Structure 1
Amino acid sequence: MSTPVQPPVSSIGSVDAQRVEDALALIGPKWTAWSAMTLAQESRPMRVCDVAARLPFVSEQFVGKRLATMHTDGLVTRDDDRRGAPYRLNALGQSLAPVYRTVSDWSHTHLSIGQMAEAERVEDALRRLLLRSATAVVQVLDAGGPMRFVRIAEEAGLDNGFTRHRLLRLQADGLVTRTGTRHGDPYLLTDAGQALGAVYASVEHWSDPVAVRRTSSAPCPVAATTRTHVGVPRGMDDARTAAALRRSAAAPNSLFSHAPQPQPRVPAAVTTQSAPGRGR
């Protein structure tokens, strides 16, 4: 068995921003990580109703739509096309494990968001990163900050109004701050923003066909996993939900307990078709 290729240690500026954003568009939509981790921890094909039973705070109809999208995007597979056929993680979905671990580590180290389920932590972090052109703005500030927003817009090739809106969102998400309170004061990255190099590198590596060609082409085995849904999503105080999540927390936290697997290629057609329409 060949040794999996690990993501290189990368600076923020060395990653391909468009490739990172295309990959985030696949893995960042809400409930994608929850669904993937549910399939991973069960390590078996699951019908929509089975997945929904593990996520009682989400409607079964929405779970079905999310799994259908994940199937279109190449993260899960089905043995046949019959209505109600079960889903399971394929090799590409399983290979998200190192991405989720890197994202979780970044969140634990740099975001003060308290205790939450690991799946929710990953989704919270990805939500902060998947906005359109956010990666480009972070790269500009990493290379030349502190910087006024007009200069940021110029360097990133973005409209002034769009750039201002994006900077406000990045501020709210804790990735960007300002040097003062006056209008026109420069922006700069926070410690959390400066630490995004490893996250971007992991996401880019997951979608990098060059990395794929350096790894074994053998299929990924479905490995045993441990429970990940520890805690209740913020704002969810329903007793049934809390009880269901406590039942799923029998083992310690883990983001796919198996070692990183060779990285399957994200098909170009999937990336092209999936990037639009993600509400970014």
Structure 2
Amino acid sequence: MPATGLPPTFSIASIDAQRVEEALARIGPKWTTWTAMTLAQVNGPVRVRDVAARLPFVSEQFVGKRLATMHTDGLVIRDHDRRGRPYRLSALGASLAPVLRTVSDWSRTHLTQEPMAEAERVEDALRRLHLRHSTTVIQALDSADGPMRFTHIVEQAGLSSGLAPQRLLRLQADGLVARTGSRHGDPYVLTDAGQALGAVYASVEHWSQPFALRSGTAASRPVKAATRTHADIPLEAGADNARTAAALRRSAAASHVMFSHAPQPQPRVPAAVTAQSAPGRGR
């Protein structure tokens, strides 16, 4: 069983890919997790300059822009909503804790066990997930009976033939999709990391419910209890659903802070910043 105490499998096919991608677009941009964790650690109103002082590898100007975007997306609030007022996490931002915990566990299990700051680990994972149409491609491959050819992926995911090659190449580079051979036309499959994304997607989808309902983009079908990863889901009839909901409550209770893993050294500068040879990670 995963370290989160969650049930071992979640269905990628059952998630609403559009809703997941809209949610990932809010939490995936670079430095969002670092900023959210900084606000969570302070646990009170913080001005832009004070957030920047805790993130010396990011300019104050960029921190201000990131906080402004997070404010627009509902992740942070400011008293009286006036310019210059300090920021703090909103209820929606604070409720990210179980989501970030699930993403971190997935990364540690399927991507890399290399020691790094937890915020850096989550941001590295979200960098692989938040690009548009990535979720629909992964969902299409997951629903296939076996390896899937390029034309079938394009059709199933509703992509243009021009965008599909770029997205597949990126997903391969990020370790989520693999090709079954080196010849042109060889089909694609999900890697172990790609197949294990069910819990991540379910957690993100459930977290997105408040703003999805406000924006009118909520899924037309209800989210099954077995795919939810927050503690505020209702118990439904049946022993299996009751056990699942209880497990999810335990997971959320353990995530009352942004991360409840054992503390790890937090490097002053992320490896992604200091690595001279690493390509830029624009978001």
Matched residue of 1:77: which SS?
A: strand
* Matched-pair contact (CA < 8 Å) for 2:102–2:200: yes
Note the alpha carbon deviations across 1:61-110, whole angstroms, 9 max, x for none.
00000001111111111112443211000111000000000000000000
Matched residue of 1:132: which SS?
A: coil
**Amino acid paired to 1:107:** S
Matched residue of 2:80: which SS?
A: coil
* Matched-pair contact (CA < 8 Å) for 2:33–2:122: yes
- Which residues of 2 match residues 249-264 of structure 1 at below 5 A? none
Matched residue of 1:182: which SS?
A: coil
Give the 3 Å change call, closer, same or farther, for CA 164–235 of structure 1 in structure 2.
closer
2:141 aligns with 141
2:245 aligns with none
1:234 aligns with 271
| Whole-angstrom distance in 1 between the partners of 2:196 and 2:8 | 15
Deviates more, 1:141-150 or 1:130-139: 141-150
2:95 aligns with 95
| Per-residue deviation, 1:207 | 0.9
| Whole-angstrom distance in 1 between the partners of 2:257 and 2:134 | 36
| Per-residue deviation, 1:159 | 1.3
| Cα-Cα RMSD | 2.6
* Matched-pair contact (CA < 8 Å) for 1:78–1:86: yes
1:23 maps to 2:59: no
| Per-residue deviation, 1:161 | 2.1
Gaps in structure 2 of 5+ consecutive residues: 1-5, 211-221, 224-229, 235-255, 276-281
**Amino acid paired to 1:147:** M
1:46 aligns with 46
| Whole-angstrom distance in 2 between the partners of 1:13 and 1:151 | 16
**Amino acid paired to 1:148:** R
Matched residue of 1:80: which SS?
A: helix
| Whole-angstrom distance in 1 between the partners of 2:196 and 2:9 | 12
| Per-residue deviation, 1:230 | 1.4
Q: TM-score, normalised by structure 2?
A: 0.74
| Whole-angstrom distance in 2 between the partners of 1:207 and 1:138 | 19
* Matched-pair contact (CA < 8 Å) for 1:174–1:190: yes
Give the 3 Å change call, closer, same or farther, for CA 52–194 of structure 1 in structure 2.
same
* Matched-pair contact (CA < 8 Å) for 2:98–2:258: no
Q: TM-score, normalised by structure 1?
A: 0.75
| Whole-angstrom distance in 1 between the partners of 2:41 and 2:264 | 7
| Whole-angstrom distance in 2 between the partners of 1:69 and 1:168 | 29
| Whole-angstrom distance in 2 between the partners of 1:10 and 1:191 | 14
Gaps in structure 1 of 5+ consecutive residues: 1-5, 216-222, 239-278
Matched residue of 1:58: which SS?
A: coil
* Matched-pair contact (CA < 8 Å) for 2:97–2:258: no
Q: What is the percent sequence identity of the aligned residues? A: 71
**Amino acid paired to 1:127:** R
Give the 3 Å change call, closer, same or farther, for CA 48–18 of structure 1 in structure 2.
same
Larger RCO (alpha carbons 8 Å, 6+ apart): 1
Give the 3 Å change call, closer, same or farther, for CA 138–225 of structure 1 in structure 2.
closer
1:178 maps to 2:179: yes
| Alignment: residue pair count | 228
Give the 3 Å change call, closer, same or farther, for CA 140–174 of structure 1 in structure 2.
same
| Per-residue deviation, 1:7 | 9.8
